[in-house]
């Protein structure tokens, strides 16, 4: 649809699936919000006690990159899918030491928040200390706001890639801007320089 409408280049932030990039016949620049989220953690958290937690196996690579950049530990929420069910995943146990630690769950998006809140409950049951949730895209489809508000988390940090009206805002929520990342990418394109260099090549899928 974008190409039919006349677009000749696309900039996107944190694709949910890397394969999306291959469906375009025009240049696609994949940007990542990691620098913004990592800066927040370096500024507001003690990385000596921090544990970056991947909410599922599909996010381990991204979570591991955060852990390396921040110099902190990594943990994983192991999920299983009950036999005979579709679109159902249950958080079963934590791989890694989270007892008494400050845990940060990092995902690309939060839709209904069912998966992320189940992971938070499991972390708390395993003795985690403070729990934060981080995501690039805040879809917040109902009942996400209620789930997050009542979850055992002290902060929910997202970016402004999607507009969030007052009905989807709550006390624990913090919204970070990705404007600088997008602006730098646009500048690189117009100056005919490398967009990947902005991210040290770590935006490549």
Whether the CB-CB separation of 199 and 11 falls below 8 Å is answered with: no
Active site residues: 79
**3-state SS, residue 57:** helix
**3-state SS, residue 179:** helix
Q: How far apart are CA 152 and CA 136, in angstroms?
A: 20
Nearest CA to 109 out of 131, 87, 78, 141 is that of 141
**3-state SS, residue 171:** coil
């Amino acid at each position: 649809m974008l190409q039919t409408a006349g677009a000749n280049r696309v900039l996107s932030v944190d694709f949910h699936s890397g394969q999306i990039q291959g469906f375009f016949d025009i240049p696609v620049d994949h940007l990542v919000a990691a620098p913004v989220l990592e800066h927040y953690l370096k500024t507001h958290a003690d990385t000596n006690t921090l544990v970056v937690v991947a909410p599922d196996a599909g996010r381990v690579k991204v979570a591991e990159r955060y852990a390396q950049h921040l110099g902190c530990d990594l943990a994983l929420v192991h999920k299983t899918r009950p036999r005979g069910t579709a679109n159902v995943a249950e958080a079963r146990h934590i791989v890694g030491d989270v007892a008494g630690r400050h845990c940060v769950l990092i995902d690309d998006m939060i839709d209904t928040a069912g998966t992320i809140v189940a992971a938070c409950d499991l972390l708390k049951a395993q003795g985690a200390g403070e729990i934060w949730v981080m995501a690039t895209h805040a879809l917040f489809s109902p009942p996400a706001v209620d789930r997050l508000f009542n979850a055992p988390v002290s902060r929910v940090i997202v970016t402004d890639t999607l507009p969030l009206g007052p009905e989807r805002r709550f006390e624990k929520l913090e919204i970070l801007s990705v404007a600088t990342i997008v602006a730098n990418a646009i500048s690189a394109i117009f100056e005919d320089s490398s967009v990947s260099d902005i991210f040290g090549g770590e935006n490549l899928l």
